Structure 1
Amino acid sequence: MKNYVQPGNCVTIPAAAVTASGDVVVAGSLVGIAAGSGAIGDPLDVEIGGVYDLPKVSALAIGIGDKVYFDPLTKLVNKTSASNSYLGVAIAAAANPSATARVRLNSSF
């Protein structure tokens, strides 16, 4: 195919903020994990599939298969959809209290 560009598992976008490797990145409907670090405007590789351990609200129990969301203000995973970006689903239980949730990213928008 003449118009094929790439598989799309990792995309490169301009960093909207100072970003560290492993940070959750939200750009409109695109949600993924920074594969490297970057300053504002730098090209930033963003993984949009896979499974990641991400920081969560400590006082929250998450079950296997629960939908999880990212709160851009607290930079934590939670189960609240209002004002948050959909990340994917939990693939392991996370107790209350605990620091992280194991999340399979939703790679389709």
Structure 2
Amino acid sequence: MHHITSFAVAGATSIVVDGSLDVVAAYDLRCCVDAALRQRARFVGLDLTRVTHADLDGAEGLRRCCAAAVASGVALTITGCSRPLRADLAVLELKTRRARSRAHTSF
């Protein structure tokens, strides 16, 4: 379960994610980021202090949000990255590296 809140003030949008960052939360987060970009926000801040868990789909959704902001020339910052989120991202990175390593050695 997740909850995402968003508010905008003077060209800046703040988005707070609370709960799991999974495929559904990633979709909702991307919708919030896209709305901020359509409203011509110059700055988008993602507060991940209250993220309790992230899976691969959530991490990919977060990456896509960052890429969309960069492509639009918008400054995006991530603040308050929770300890559980950092741990989950580290595990996902390790799994990705192992998979890439296996792919390169299988030739």
TM-score range, shorter chain: under 0.3
| Structure with the bigger percentage of strand | 1
| Structure with the bigger percentage of helix | 2
Query: Larger C-alpha radius of gyration, 1 or 2?
Result: 2
